[in-house]
Structure 1
C-alpha cells in the first residue's frame, strides 16, 4: 500500500483484508510471524490501534494466533480452533461449548437407541 501523505490511510479492515489474502494465497505460510504491530503501523502510517484491530479481526476469524511477548503467527488450520496458546478467547469458549453439545448429543443418541430397543422388543397388541 502507498504510505504517502496524500494517499488515504488504510483502515483496520483494509489491513486485515490484505493479510487475509496473503494467508489464504499462501504468501504467509503456517507458523509465519506477522510483522510487529508497531512496525506495521509505522510502515502504513496508521495508529497502533488500527493494526491491533486488524490482527484482532484475523484472530477472531481463526487465521492467526497471538502469543504474548512473541508476536502474531499464522495458525495451522488442521489444529482445532481454541486449542493453541494465543487462540481467540471467543474460539476457546466456542470449542468448549461445542464439545459439551457433542457429549450431550451422544448421550441422547444412546438413550434413543435404548428406547427403540425397548419399544421394538414389545409385542404388538393382538387384534
Structure 2
C-alpha cells in the first residue's frame, strides 16, 4: 500500500515543481491570489507531513511564501514525505492504519489547490501548464 502512495507523492512532487517553473518563467508578475494558492499547496503539504513526523510546523496555511523559496520548500516537503515512507517501510514506525487517511487527505488537498490554481490562471488570462507529459524521476 505504501508503494502506491510513494508513487503518487513522487508524481505530485514533479507536478508541483512543473507548476512552479511554469509560473516563474519569463519573470512574469504573478498575481497575489495565485501566489496565495500556490503557497497554500506548499503549506498544506508542510503542515501534514511535519505533523506526521512530529516535527515543528514552521508555516500556517495562509502564509504567502516568497516565490524564490517555492521550489526549495516543495523539495523539502517531498524529502519529508520520503522520510515518512522510509520509516514505515523499514518498520521503524508501525500501525499504518492511522496514516492512510492522512495520505489520502494530502493527495486530495494537492489536487484541490492545483484546481484552484488553474481557475485563477484562466481568470488572469495566464496560460495553463500542460500536465499530460509530467516526467517522474
TM-score by length of 1: 0.27
Say which structure is richer in helix: 2
* Structure with the greater alpha carbon radius of gyration: 1
Higher relative contact order (CA 8 A, sep 6+): 2
TM-score by length of 2: 0.25
